[in-house]
Amino acid sequence: MIPEKVGPYIIERKIGSGGMGTVYLGRHAETGKVVAVKILPASLAREDGFVLRFTREIEAMRKLKNPHVVEVYESGVDDETYYYAMEYVDGITLSKWIRENGRMHWKDVINYSVQICSALKAAHDAGIVHRDLKPSNLLITKDNQIKLLDFGVAQVFASTKLTKTGGIIGTAEYMSSEQAQGRRTTKKSDIYSLGAVMYALLTGRPPYSGKTSMEVIQKHKFGQFDAPRLFVPEIPHWLDEVVCKCLEKDPDKRFPDAYVLSRRLKEILKKVELSRQEKTAASGTLDGTAETIVAGDDPNAVGGTLMRDLVRAEIECAQSKPLVSQLLDNTFVLIAMLILLILGGVWWFNSADITPEQKYEKGVTLYQKGKLYWPQARDEYLLPLLREDPETWASKVDDMLMEI
């Protein structure tokens, strides 16, 4: 049943609900200001633990002043109903966007992820770990701005209230590997969750899925996901690497914080643009050379001047040969150059990419040599095989990767 009024706010309609409360669209009775009003259900309000958690959510959000975090205006208790009023965002959640559209273009993913990094940096600087970062907690406004909300399970670094060792808190598909193991969460846990969000936006699916939450949790602890580029080859390899690094099971192997991650994401756009410019310049140089040579047929064209210069240079070269030409006329020099060419060819052939079968053999050899060589076997041979051709190699390398 929708309440008619909560505190000074007239309730107009229900917006959504979650584990820690129901959100309504409200309007201030005196000022007419439109807000979102979150109410703690009466059944939960009878439990001190939930009241403390609800209060902590309010305190956490009040600490944050960032354009990408929903702002809290006020809070209170109205006839034993705990509530708080916050900024109303007219938009859709990323989870709804994914359901309706599937994959998102990689440039948009970078844009939104940089905004999320800004929100996370503000939270982490305030000593807060969100712990439940997921598409349904991220809103896109009509002007393409991201808003982070729902700090219901956030952990305040300085507080020991409501934190239990061994408890699993978060949403299965987007929780970090340490959360899945019930270990202490840090700001790097939010980095992992952001990696899972980016993965879902790029591919239309989370990195791990299963029939039950426990099955998904087990995959976060021990499983190996497929790189995003296996599903969407047009993703820049730099972005693929960033997402995979965010999803490292060892927190120390992830990006150290949200600021560094945002810098890496911005660099990808610059790298892609620079790479495109280099390809355009190279293509333009080749096309320009061809056009100039063809233009040599017209004595009034620029190409005509080029052709005359080339002919004149050729005549001058024939009249007085430089030292290089004299050397090229020497039989012994030519033999030496031929030997160097053959040696270079042999070196190139030996250093060329090895076949998948050879990669597999080298990986197995390193694996059998002992644990000291396992990381090399995994990173240089087994994982590349799995990414290049999962259908062929999954059955052969999965057991070794699981043990590693």
SS (H, E, C) 115-136: HHHHHHHHHHHCCEECCCCCHH
Helix (H, G, I), strand (E, B) or coil at 30: coil
Domain span holding position 38: 5-87
Handedness of CA 382, 383, 385, 386 (dihedral sign): positive
End-to-end CA distance of the chain: 54
Least confident of 18-22, 132-136, 191-195: 18-22
Looking at every residue in the chain, the average pLDDT score rounds to 83
- 8 Å CB contact between 115 and 146: yes
Strands 34-39 and 21-28: antiparallel
Please indicate, yes or no, whether residues 129 and 95 belong to a single structural domain of this protein.
yes
Looking at residues 60-71, what average pLDDT do you find? 88
For residue 295, being part of any structural domain is answered with: no
- 8 Å CB contact between 179 and 169: yes
Looking at the DSSP bridge assignments, the partners of residue 36 are 25, 86
Backbone angles phi, psi at 300, to 5 degrees: -90, -5
Please indicate, yes or no, whether residues 58 and 138 belong to a single structural domain of this protein.
no
132 in active site: yes
Given this model, what pLDDT does residue 349 score? 60
CA atoms within 13 A on the CB side of 45: 15
Taking 3-state DSSP, the helix, strand and coil percentages for the chain, each rounded to the nearest 5, stand at 60, 15, 30
Given this model, what pLDDT does residue 328 score? 62
For residue 342, being part of any structural domain is answered with: no
Please indicate, yes or no, whether residues 79 and 191 belong to a single structural domain of this protein.
no
Given this model, what pLDDT does residue 201 score? 97
Chain centre to alpha carbon of residue 6: 40
Domain termination residue (choose one: 53, 72, 87): 87
Domain total in the chain: 3
Identity of the amino acid at 189: S
Given this model, what pLDDT does residue 400 score? 87
Looking at residues 308-317, what average pLDDT do you find? 51
In angstroms, the CA 19 to CA 313 distance is 83
Given this model, what pLDDT does residue 347 score? 63
Residue 63 tokens read as: 């600490």
For residue 276, being part of any structural domain is answered with: no
Q: pLDDT band at residue 298, thresholds of 50, 70 and 90?
A: very low
For residue 333, being part of any structural domain is answered with: no
Looking at residues 390-397, what average pLDDT do you find? 82
Given this model, what pLDDT does residue 324 score? 56
Given this model, what pLDDT does residue 301 score? 40
Please indicate, yes or no, whether residues 126 and 267 belong to a single structural domain of this protein.
yes
In angstroms, the CA 353 to CA 348 distance is 10
In angstroms, the CA 361 to CA 368 distance is 11
Q: Residue 230: is its pLDDT beyond 90?
A: yes
Please indicate, yes or no, whether residues 254 and 374 belong to a single structural domain of this protein.
no
Summarised one tens digit per residue, pLDDT across range 91-105 is: 999 999 999 999 999
CA atoms within 13 A on the CB side of 166: 0
Q: Of 387 and 352, which is predicted with more confidence?
A: 387
Q: pLDDT band at residue 144, thresholds of 50, 70 and 90?
A: very high
Q: Of 96 and 43, which is predicted with more confidence?
A: 96
Q: What is the DSSP string of 135-154?
A: GGGEEEETTS-EEE---TT-
Residue 353 tokens read as: 């990419």
Residue 45 tokens read as: 């309000």
Domain termination residue (choose one: 63, 87, 111): 87
Please indicate, yes or no, whether residues 122 and 172 belong to a single structural domain of this protein.
yes
Q: Residue 155: is its pLDDT beyond 90?
A: no
| Residue in this structure with the two tokens 């960032």, named with its chain if needed | 66
pTM of the model: 0.66
In angstroms, the CA 319 to CA 315 distance is 6
> Residue 122 is part of a domain; what is its CATH number?
1.10.510.10
What number of other Cβ atoms are within 10 A of residue 174's Cβ?
A: 26
Q: Which of 132, 150, 190, 257 is catalytic?
A: 132
Identity of the amino acid at 368: Q
Looking at residues 282-302, what average pLDDT do you find? 50
Looking at residues 317-339, what average pLDDT do you find? 66
Please indicate, yes or no, whether residues 132 and 57 belong to a single structural domain of this protein.
no
In angstroms, the CA 276 to CA 40 distance is 52
Please indicate, yes or no, whether residues 79 and 105 belong to a single structural domain of this protein.
no
CA distances from residue 257 to 120, 130, 149, 152, 159 in whole angstroms, order as listed = 9, 13, 20, 22, 21
Residue 379 tokens read as: 């990173």
Task: Compute the C-alpha angle 145/147/150, nearest 5°.
Answer: 170
For residue 54, being part of any structural domain is answered with: yes
Given this model, what pLDDT does residue 266 score? 96
* Cβ neighbours of residue 206 closer than 8 Å, sequence gap 6 or more: 173, 174, 196, 199, 200
For residue 25, being part of any structural domain is answered with: yes
Please indicate, yes or no, whether residues 31 and 110 belong to a single structural domain of this protein.
no
Given this model, what pLDDT does residue 379 score? 85
Please indicate, yes or no, whether residues 29 and 132 belong to a single structural domain of this protein.
no
In angstroms, the CA 195 to CA 232 distance is 16
Please indicate, yes or no, whether residues 103 and 248 belong to a single structural domain of this protein.
yes
Residue 308 tokens read as: 């005359």
Chain centre to alpha carbon of residue 341: 45
Domain termination residue (choose one: 27, 53, 87): 87
Please indicate, yes or no, whether residues 222 and 118 belong to a single structural domain of this protein.
yes
> Residue 43 is part of a domain; what is its CATH number?
3.30.200.20
For residue 343, being part of any structural domain is answered with: no
For residue 228, being part of any structural domain is answered with: yes
Handedness of CA 138, 170, 25, 37 (dihedral sign): negative
Least confident of 75-89, 194-208, 313-327: 313-327
